Amino acid sequence: MSRLRTFVAVPIEKSTRARAAALQETLARAGADIKWVESKNLHITLLFLGEVEDKQLPAVCNVVADVVGRNAPFGMSVEGAGCFGNPRRPRTLWVGVGAGLEELKALHDALEPPLMDLGCYRREERPYTPHLTLGRVKGEDAGDELAKALARQSAWKGGQGDVREIHVMSSVLGPTGPDYMVLSRAKLGG
């Protein structure tokens, strides 16, 4: 029996991904050692399921389609750069969500119970914070320059769009990074 590394995600529009890639380039000039997320892989994770057995994937996709279909499409803006961890010792660089924040949290909260009932999701200890991961800092010392660069981008605007579907995705880790594949697309109803 095989297993797939699986997550539920909000796709990001091409123009917003391009602006996020430009932000990555700006932040890279700070000189910190960072593993950047490829532009094509930028997304907002709703829930990370981890390793899911093949035979459970249809049920996962059905649950996501059912829950998502009961929610109306909504507008979302991607904005503001920040980090998880101390700004002088960040672990993960991200951009946040402005408009659509509450809708994303509500979708996350609606998806959690039925996915937990399937036995393929374990609730996280920390509260859900919708974000788009730009990169992960390698090593312990990112330096003051990265902290300053992040502070200068705190009001960054990445664009607005409509969230009309949610994807169930798989991630296969390869030598050059993860390869993502859409397993199913769940349309928001309303």
Query: What are the two backbone dihedrals, phi and then psi, of residue 4, each rounded to the nearest 5 degrees?
Result: -120, 135
DSSP-assigned letters across all residues of 66-92: HHHHTS--EEEEEEEEEEEEETTEEEE
Burial class (CB in 10 A: 0-12, 13-18, 19+), 53: middle
Contact 123, 50 (CB under 8 A): no
Catalytic residues: 43, 131
